[in-house]
Chain A
Amino acid sequence: DTGVSQDPRHKITKRGQNVTFRCDPISEHNRLYWYRQTLGQGPEFLTYFQNEAQLEKSRLLSDRFSAERPKGSFSTLEIQRTEQGDSAMYLCASSLATGRTEAFFGQGTRLTVV
């Protein structure tokens, strides 16, 4: 297991299109998180899963955003009807729920909406 992987690394899309990102967490990690990072800012929490259950969503996660984690393994983040303000780095992280709970991050997906 080489860590958290995200796909694609870069995505350029036209305004109004739908995009989907994938995250594969570290295999034994039961928690998975999505963060958004805009230029010059720290990552901001979007949502997290414990196994397949989505336990918390930030108010940043508008109705156009949806995240899933079927079977408690990989996760997808979909953005519908993209807007220029959605341009950002989308980071995925995973962790254990108990014990050493620090998060391990993927390399992110850079989204550019033109």
Chain B
Amino acid sequence: AQTVTQSQPEMSVQEAETVTLSCTYDTSESNYYLFWYKQPPSRQMILVIRQEAYKQQNATENRFSVNFQKAAKSFSLKISDSQLGDTAMYFCAFMKHPLLTGGGNKLTFGTGTQLKVEL
């Protein structure tokens, strides 16, 4: 079974600053995906960024980037130039590779980090 750990229940950052959210995971799989999802107060979960484990290059999406350390089983999210709209709960999630492992696309989530962007 897979586990995902987010050790920072809450974080805050000043607008325009940079913040890093931590995530570690445990798995015996070698092929998998990792995701960061954002859940704003309206509660709809939105995909922020995804990383395929076989890719060494860290994924980036505009102001969002990850630091993927496969050997250390670490997957942190960096948000640059933080904006008020980034205020949300952020979840790290793991998914076994659906085609290579035969599993469905089900996600295993961490407990989340509540990020508050302040003026």
Interface residues of A (CB under 8 A from B): 31, 33, 35, 40-45, 48, 50, 55-56, 89, 91, 93, 95, 97-98, 101-108
Interface size for B (C-beta < 8 A) is: 25
Are B47 and A102 in contact (CB-based, < 8 A)?
yes
Does any Cβ of A come within 8 Å of B43's Cβ?
yes
Q: Does B105 lie within 8 Å of A101, measured CB to CB?
A: yes
Alpha-carbon distance A107/B45, docked complex (angstroms)? 7
* Cβ-neighbour of B43 out of A33, A40, A103, A108 (below 8 A): A108
Using Cβ atoms and an 8 Å threshold, which residues of chain A touch B91?
A: 42-43
Contacts A42-B91, A104-B47 hold; do A56 and B106 have CB atoms under 8 A apart? yes
Interface flags, B41-55, vs A, CB<8A=1, else 0: 011111100100000
At the interface, yes or no: B108 with Cβ under 8 Å from chain A? yes
A107 lies within 8 A of B43 (CB)? yes
